[in-house]
Amino acid sequence: MTSTENKYILLKGNEAIAMAAIRIGCDGYFGYPITPQSEVLETLCNEKPWETTGMVVLQAESELASINMVYAGGATGKRVMTSSSSPGVALMQEGITYMAGAEIPGVIVNVQRGGPGLGTIQPSQADYNQSTRGGGNGDYEVIVLAPASVQEMADFVETAFDLAFKYRTPVIILSDGIIGQMMEKVMLPPFKARKTAEEIATLYPWAATGRDMKRKNNIFTSLDLDQERHERHNIHLQQKYATIKEEEVRYEEIMTEDAEYLVVAFGSAARIAQKAIEDCRSEGIKVGLLRPITLWPFPTKRVAELAGQVKGILCAEINAGQMVQDIRLAVEGKTPVSHYGRMGGMVPTPEEIAEVIRKQLVQE
């Protein structure tokens, strides 16, 4: 591993997730293979971190088992994670809402493929709603980070754990088959030791670390048969979500300063849209890109500000139109908002998006 210190190496997005997890002091990974994310588990098994950092890597018997292992590991204050692809993450939704309810930190990586159902194994972004609207029951939110490069796949693992523990919440890294399967240069994060039992006991007094006689039991459950107390718990959760919305919005802007038109895209679609924008700029069309990095919390304020600046907004996604709903909520009718997407594992080309910018966005 020493040969990879402080230099750029070539990795797949999935490999970068695994390598970064080992380095940032992740305590455990529980997962079940599914295309297009199987390299996460495969890389972890090749790297054998249980022999070096002591990180546990386990191929669970199912996605349900994986997410419930994350529930249990997170409850003990350990940095644990799972990864899967769309249908596998659909299976995990119950575990995710239980984690949200019981305020258990953990990281879930979704390398999306086409749906609905078992769908296809090719790239897609059709789990935007599943991630940001909660596939599980109840009033809960999940922080959703959308990497657009292999470097961000590596960087967001630690970001996700930091947010998960800061707010005691599950965090989803919403990637897709393009970012998962592609190779790019990446600088891996430096090694950090896993937290010791003493550090966990001090930092996370809420964690189930084994009771001594001085404190009450730390019990994790999302069930409360006292509805008044449970409403107070819900109010507490909502206050927490309000803080996250205020403090954790992340986005990137490219060529928006003088933009007359705006494209909003996340993850791999943002990369494809950027090429389309470069081509349109070379023809004199003043178009910029807003790339939400947190899909929840969504950069609502910034979209609203840009809506006052531009003549039209195009949302480019690899789905039938999901994030476009959040854009419309932010824009509140101030400027026209249109959508372009492909579905079922088909991926738009930069030329397709450029043509929509020329013919649809600019004409409107």
Partner 1 sequence: MKKEFIIAGFGGQGVLSMGKIFACSALMEGHEVTWFPAYGPEQRGGTANVTVIVSDERISSPIISQFDVAIILNQPSLERFEETIKPGGILIYDGYGICTPPKRKDISVYRIDAMDMAATMNNVKSFNMIVLGGLLKVVPIVNTENILQALRDTLPTRHHHLIPMNEEALRKGMEIVTPLHTL
- Determine, following the binding rule CB under 8 A, whether residue 121 of this chain makes contact with partner 1: yes
**CB of residue 316 vs partner 1: minimum separation in angstroms?**
11
Q: Which is nearer to partner 1, 260 or 278 (CB)?
A: 278
Binding to partner 1 in span 29-48, by CB under 8 A: 35-36
Stretch that binds partner 1, among 223-231, 240-248, 322-330, 347-355 (CB under 8 A): 347-355
Site string for partner 1, 177-196 (x = CB under 8 A): xx--xxxxx-----------
Confirm if 296 and 248 have CB atoms less than 8 A apart: no
Work out which of 206, 328, 350, 364 binds partner 1, going by CB under 8 A: 350
What is the spatial order of strands in the sheet that 287-292 belongs to? Answer: 251-254, 287-292, 261-264, 312-317, 337-341
Centre a 10 Å sphere on the Cβ of residue 225 and count the other Cβ atoms it contains. Answer: 6
Q: Which is nearer to partner 1, 142 or 318 (CB)?
A: 318
* # binding residues, partner 1 (CB under 8 A): 26
Give CA separation, 259 vs 149, 195, 263, 307, 311, in Å.
Answer: 24, 46, 10, 11, 9
Work out which of 41, 69, 290, 347 binds partner 1, going by CB under 8 A: 347
- Which amino acid is it at 227? Q
Cα separation of the two ends of the chain: 54
Confirm if 104 and 71 have CB atoms less than 8 A apart: yes
Cα–chain center distance at 79: 16
Q: What's the CA gap between 73 and 34, in Å, rounded?
A: 22
- Determine, following the binding rule CB under 8 A, whether residue 351 of this chain makes contact with partner 1: yes
Q: In terms of DSSP bridges, do strands 183-186 and 9-12 run parallel, antiparallel, or are they unpaired? A: antiparallel
Query: What does residue 165 show for φ and ψ, rounded to 5 degrees?
Result: -80, -30
**CB of residue 252 vs partner 1: minimum separation in angstroms?**
12
Confirm if 31 and 39 have CB atoms less than 8 A apart: no
Q: Which is nearer to partner 1, 336 or 344 (CB)?
A: 344
Work out which of 80, 272, 327, 343 binds partner 1, going by CB under 8 A: 272
**CB of residue 78 vs partner 1: minimum separation in angstroms?**
32
Q: Which is nearer to partner 1, 8 or 191 (CB)?
A: 8
Confirm if 132 and 295 have CB atoms less than 8 A apart: yes
- Determine, following the binding rule CB under 8 A, whether residue 8 of this chain makes contact with partner 1: yes
**CB of residue 123 vs partner 1: minimum separation in angstroms?**
9
**CB of residue 230 vs partner 1: minimum separation in angstroms?**
45
Stretch that binds partner 1, among 5-13, 81-89, 98-106, 164-172 (CB under 8 A): 5-13
Q: What's the CA gap between 225 and 257, in Å, rounded?
A: 53
Given the structure tokens 């932010």, which residue do they identify?
Answer: 330
Stretch that binds partner 1, among 75-83, 159-167, 231-239, 274-282 (CB under 8 A): 274-282
Q: What's the CA gap between 80 and 134, in Å, rounded?
A: 20
Q: What's the CA gap between 126 and 86, in Å, rounded?
A: 9
The vertex-264 CA angle with 259 and 266, nearest 5°, equals: 140
Centre a 10 Å sphere on the Cβ of residue 298 and count the other Cβ atoms it contains. Answer: 21
**CB of residue 177 vs partner 1: minimum separation in angstroms?**
7
Stretch that binds partner 1, among 159-167, 255-263, 309-317, 344-352 (CB under 8 A): 344-352
Stretch that binds partner 1, among 211-219, 223-231, 322-330, 342-350 (CB under 8 A): 342-350
Q: Would you tell me which residues interact with partner 1 (CB under 8 A)?
A: 8-10, 35-36, 121-122, 177-178, 181-185, 268, 271-272, 274-276, 278, 347-351
